[in-house]
């Protein structure tokens, strides 16, 4: 893995951590979400500081270069996160629709 990619991983991890701490301080982010981002950024630091991890996994899985593995790792984790968020949003929309229907049925008594 090139030095540039390693440096980029570490710098991006530091920026993500700073942004997460800033959002937590302003109470604009839930703790569970911040935990995900902190763990995700710490995995960037691990891959940047110890490139042997990426080298071993990329050789094991048959990637041509460790950077290809790193990019696939990032994309895969974010796709799984997006899918989880989509499921959560669908559940919230369902609950919102049920709530709106319940309020609509009971709104005649409020006048």
pLDDT at 63: 94
Residue 59 corresponds to which tokens in the numbers above? 């050789």
Average pLDDT, the chain: 92
* Domain range list for the chain: 3-110
pLDDT digits (tens, 9 = 90+) for 6-36: 899 899 999 999 999 999 999 999 989 999 9
pLDDT at 109: 56
Percentage of the residues of the chain whose pLDDT score is greater than 70: 96
pTM over 0.85: no
pLDDT at 110: 57
> What are the C-alpha distances in Å from 87 to residues 76, 80, 100?
17, 11, 20
pLDDT digits (tens, 9 = 90+) for 63-87: 999 999 999 999 999 999 999 999 9
Rg of the Cα trace of the chain?
Answer: 21
Going by C-alpha positions, the residue among 51, 43, 46 that lies closest to residue 2 is 51
pLDDT digits (tens, 9 = 90+) for 40-68: 999 999 999 999 999 999 999 999 999 99
User: Residues 6 or more apart from 43 whose CB is under 8 A from it?
Assistant: 73
Going by C-alpha positions, the residue among 14, 2, 16 that lies closest to residue 77 is 16
> What are the C-alpha distances in Å from 67 to residues 3, 52, 96?
11, 12, 43
């Amino acid at each position: 893995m090139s030095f540039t990619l390693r440096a980029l991983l570490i710098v991006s991890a530091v920026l993500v951590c700073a942004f997460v701490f800033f959002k937590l301080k302003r109470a604009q982010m839930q703790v569970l979400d911040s935990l995900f981002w902190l763990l995700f950024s710490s995995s960037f630091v691990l891959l940047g500081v110890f490139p042997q991890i990426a080298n071993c996994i990329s050789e094991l899985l048959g990637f041509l270069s460790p950077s290809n593995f790193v990019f696939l790792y990032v994309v895969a984790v974010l796709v799984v996160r997006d899918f989880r968020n989509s499921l959560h949003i669908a559940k919230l929309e369902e609950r919102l629709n049920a709530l709106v229907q319940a309020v609509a049925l009971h709104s005649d008594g409020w006048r």
